[in-house]
Amino acid sequence: MSRQLTLALSKGRIFEETLPLLEAAGIKVTENPEKSRKLILPTTDPDVRVIIVRASDVPTYVQYGAADFGVAGKDVLLEHGGEGLYQPIDLNIAKCRLSVAVPAGFDYASAVRQGARLRVVTKYVKCASEHFAAKGVHVDLIKLYGSMELGPLVGLSDAIVDLVSTGSTLRANNLVEVEHILDISSRLVVNQAALKLKRERLQPILEAFEQASASQAPKAA
């Protein structure tokens, strides 16, 4: 049985915020993906390697077993559906929220109250359609892959559904948050077959991740 473990991460905040968790498991990544063009990075553990993939591709690599485990945002997991994935731990990293935002001055509440048909741009079509369906709001959803903020500014839509953390991108584009749909953080996802077949190698890493992330979580009041 192979002892080799492959961890799928995306560049940027998820990679950066996963490093301390890996270190808690005694593993250091020995190359920086921001500087290297390599897509497969070695670590100080000869049995563990990291692959660098697009954030929204992490669940796919893990689902098909090309990676044994990975770190993905709840937003990405909800859109993917989570098929074939075991999701044991909320890592409490890459925190943000999924929200509805509109141009300052647009009366969202009365548009909704009057049963208007809203045009909404988003990358998160599944979450957005469930949200508006539950509220009984009629929407035309337009899928975009980036820069959602531009949609209402150029007349593509009335509103956006996007991730917000500080709100500075919204403010810079004269948009205001009018509805909070969901709190988002990143989760550890594990391939279900790998969990059984490589349990001996995986278990200590999962435990270290769990402990390290619990110590970062806000304490209950």
Which residues contact ligand ATP by CB under 6 A? Answer: 10, 12-14, 54-56, 73, 75-76, 94-96, 146, 163, 165, 184, 186
Minimum distance, C-beta of residue 186 to ligand ATP, in the bound complex (Å): 6
Minimum distance, C-beta of residue 74 to ligand ATP, in the bound complex (Å): 6
Q: Which residue is nearest to ligand ATP (CB)?
A: 73
Minimum distance, C-beta of residue 72 to ligand ATP, in the bound complex (Å): 7
Provide the residue type at 74 as one letter. Answer: K
> Which is nearer to ligand ATP, 60 or 112 (by Cβ)?
60
> Which is nearer to ligand ATP, 75 or 158 (by Cβ)?
75
Contact 77, 87 (CB under 8 A): yes
Query: How far is Cα 174 from Cα 106, in angstroms, rounded to an integer?
Result: 11
> Which is nearer to ligand ATP, 12 or 26 (by Cβ)?
12
Contact 58, 10 (CB under 8 A): yes
> Which is nearer to ligand ATP, 184 or 188 (by Cβ)?
184
Minimum distance, C-beta of residue 95 to ligand ATP, in the bound complex (Å): 6
